[in-house]
Structure 1
Amino acid sequence: MLLVAVAPAAKAEEPADQHEEAGTFNLVLENDIVSGLDQDYTNGIMLSWTSGAGDAPSWAVDAANWLPFFSSEGTVRVIYGIGQNIYTPSDIKLEDPPADDRPYAGWLYGSIGLTSATETRLDQLNLQLGVVGPAALARETQTWVHGIIGADKPRGWDHQLNNEPGVVLTYQRSWRAFISGEIWGFSFDATPHLGGAVGNVFTYANGGATLRFGWNLPDDYGPPRIEPSLPGSGFFEPQGDFGFYVFAGLDGRVVARNIFLDGNTFTDSRSVQKNILVGDAQVGIAFTIRTARLAYTHVFRTQEFSGQNDADKFGALSLSLRF
């Protein structure tokens, strides 16, 4: 029997021993090793902590209630994070990469965010503050990791972007299970999203949707990802001791600013001609086991600049633990 409704998906009955949510720790690792290449967006790592429902500090609740685009009836959570992204040209063995290839660059940042979740939507506001350039320590990170795994030594970091403070403010709204239903005992839902970012690192507008299909679907919006990306959620509410779902999503961005392609804002640096329109397609699988969520996402990203050899392909592995 097939049931479809434009409404939130039906929830499985929660077990009596359902763990209370004090907070959620998230670890996200993204790398292009799955493509067999070492180029473009080559690595990202992010650690974050999301407060539990009802445990957000008073200033966060006041701020969420003050924001006109957040629901006054939503459950507020606060998110703290730290991360690093690494970008390289197509041939890291060259000491002087071609001027028309993506520049070497790193992005080291800390972040603070607010989320407001209702039965029908999720609003997410996130502020990242950090640094681009040698101070981001991307050269040291990539050289150290490649030395451990025996990969090629990156030789062109002398041509990376210059030091520059960076700021990005992002906002995303996702509509919970805009389409949802059940088939053969499994549940499915489709969740559209709209948002954007503004700052000297990234400025863009984006939109898309995510489709999930599985058993004992947790209340989440997909696994967390490193921005720019399809939005996920740094929290989840399991609907039993075990659940799983497969998912697929699309996101399109209109890009006005990408410092890793446009180059430094205030000083001369290497740069390339970026593409204004960029799209992401992703597929993956997520498992929830009591208080843990483990997910793998495979991402396909269209070419981001003129002359880029291939579309980007990379994998994202995430682990979320509720305490």
Structure 2
Amino acid sequence: MDRYRSSLVACLYGALMAITAVPAVRAKDSEFGTLNLVIENDSFAGHDRDYTNGILASWTTGPDQTPSWARAVARWLPFFSEEGTVRASYGLGQSMFTPNDLSLEDPPGDDHPYAGWLYGSIGLFSETPTHLDQLQLQLGVVGPAALARQAQTLVHEAIGSTKPRGWDHQLDNEPGIVITYQRSWRLPIADDIMGLALDATPHLGAALGNVFTYANGGATLRLGWNMPDDYGPPRIEPGLPASGYFVPQADFGWYLFAGVEGRAVGRNIFLDGNSFQDSPSVEKNVLVGDAQVGIALVFRTVRLAYTYVFRTPEFKGQDDADKFGALSLSARF
């Protein structure tokens, strides 16, 4: 674990060194798009269980680079503003879930099932001065084809951690689909608190699919200096909504943020099990809450952020709440 954390520190240091070579860019400059890299892992909280790891790479287009089909769809959607600035996004991600004791070849039936989720995504953003609409489609596969077993085994061998022995009991292969819609509002609160600005972004949304189905709502507060125009750093679903792009206001800025969200969960395949065949499963909790705190630094055209997440127990008999960290790097081109 110590070696793993040391490697993360080294990666972070390398990223900061690379940032210093980025040329200055102002908000008025052209925006080709934004590349986002996100890693979520429970080792940040000293755990290795339940939702244990997620990775996501995504690209969000600049307004002038948005494909014509995306603009047409956004204008057609009744809940998207006709005056909104439209962006498109494309992503590829993987999430993995494990029980508490990785050393058991036959994990207990009342613990979180082994499961992996490998997916691609396509999304639309429509932003106005007062709110942001996000619509996303995820398509992928749950089960051995998601390659979570191979990914976790490889990483654990490399860092000398416990070998996961129970992947023979993971969920079976199943195609997955999730459609997610979120609306976030930007509410300025104060623009000069000892030189700092404060705003709030409440949100409402829902997801529908055989992987996730839920309704959600919550809010985030940001406090900072030279805060970029964004709705927080990117996260992996399910999680508080954010934006896969940002508009810097100066060569350097920063903000602290804190948010909460509640979800009413109709389906979570990683707890409910496969849709059309018998598989490991546990009794899920219908009501789940997230609380998060973090910091985002913006240096010229790069946004670096860390988020610490506390998630209430997701299934009956879960020993403890989930705690994990999310590290994201966004580069604007």
Match of 1:40 in 2: 50
Distance 1:256 1:27, change over 3 A: same
Q: In 2, are the aligned partners of 1:180 and 1:190 still within 8 Å (CA)?
A: no
Deviation at 1:281, TM superposition (A): 0.2
1:5 aligns with none
Q: Which residue does the alignment assign to 1:253?
A: 263
- 1:171 matched to 2:181? The reply is yes
Aligned counterparts, 1:106-125, within 5 A: 106-125=116-135
Distance 1:43 1:245 in 2: 26
Trace 1:76-95 onto structure 2 (pairs within 5 A). 76-95=86-105
**What does the per-residue CA deviation read over 1:45-103, in whole Å, with 9 as the maximum and x for residues that have no partner?**
00000000222111000000000000000000000000000000010110000001110
2:14 aligns with none
Cα distance in 2 for residues equivalent to 1:96 and 1:153? 14
What is the DSSP-based 3-state SS (H/G/I as helix, E as strand, rest coil) of the residue aligned with 1:247? Answer: strand
User: Does residue 195 of structure 1 match 2:205?
Assistant: yes
Aligned to 1:53: 63
Show the 5 A alignment for 1:298-313: 298-313=308-323
Sort the Cα spacing of 1:149 and 1:15 in 2 relative to 1 into closer, same or farther, 3 A.
Answer: closer
CA contact (8 A) 1:179 1:191 kept: no
CA contact (8 A) 1:19 1:291 kept: no
Structure 1 contact 127–170 (Cα < 8 Å) conserved: yes
Alpha-carbon separation, structure 2, partners of 1:17 and 1:168: 33
Equivalent position of 1:3 in the other structure: none
- Once the two structures are superposed, the pairs formed by residues 123-272 of structure 1 within 5 Å of their partners are 123-177=133-187, 179-272=189-282
Q: Aligned to 2:64, what secondary structure does the other structure show?
A: coil
1:20 offset after TM fit, Å?
A: 2.0
Find the residue that maps to 1:266 and give its secondary structure: coil
Instruction: Provide the rounded CA distance (Å) in 2 between the counterparts of 1:177 and 1:225.
Output: 21
Corresponding residue number in structure 2 for 1:4: none
Q: Give ranges in structure 1 of 5+ residues lacking alignment.
A: 1-13
Looking at structure 2, the residues matched to 118 and 43 of structure 1 have their Cα atoms a distance apart, in angstroms, of 34
Q: TM-score, normalised by structure 1?
A: 0.94
Q: Which 4+ stretches in 1 moved above 4 angstroms? A: 14-18
Which amino acid is the alignment partner of residue 317 of structure 2?
G
Q: Which amino acid aligns with 2:246?
A: F
**1:99 pairs with 81, 95, 109, which one?**
109
Q: Secondary structure at the match of 1:54?
A: helix
Q: CA deviation at 1:176?
A: 1.2
In structure 2, give the amino acid aligned to 1:80.
Y
Q: Does 1:297 align with 2:307?
A: yes
CA contact (8 A) 1:46 1:82 kept: yes
Q: Deviations over 1:224-258 (max 9, x none)?
A: 00000000100000000000000000000000000
Percent identical: 71
Note if contact 1:196-1:204 (Cα within 8 Å) is conserved in structure 2: yes
TM norm structure 2:
0.91
**Cα deviation code 1:253-282 (max 9, x no counterpart):** 000000000000011001000000000000
Q: Give the Å deviation of 1:305.
A: 0.1
- Is 1:277 aligned with 2:284? no
Q: Which amino acid aligns with 1:88?
A: T
Aligned AA for 1:245?
A: Y
Once the 2 structures are TM-superposed, how far is the Cα of residue 21 of structure 1 from its aligned partner? Answer: 1.1
Tell me which amino acid in the other structure corresponds to 1:225: R
Retained in 2: the 8 A contact 1:24–1:52?
Answer: yes
Aligned to 1:11: none
Paired residue secondary structure (2:89): strand
**Distance in 2, Cα, partners of 1:138 & 1:27:** 18
Could you tell me which residue of structure 2 aligns to residue 8 of structure 1? none
For structure 2, the 5+ residue unaligned runs are 1-23
1:19 offset after TM fit, Å? 3.5
Letter in 1 for 2:307: T
Number of residues of Structure 1 aligned to a counterpart in Structure 2: 310
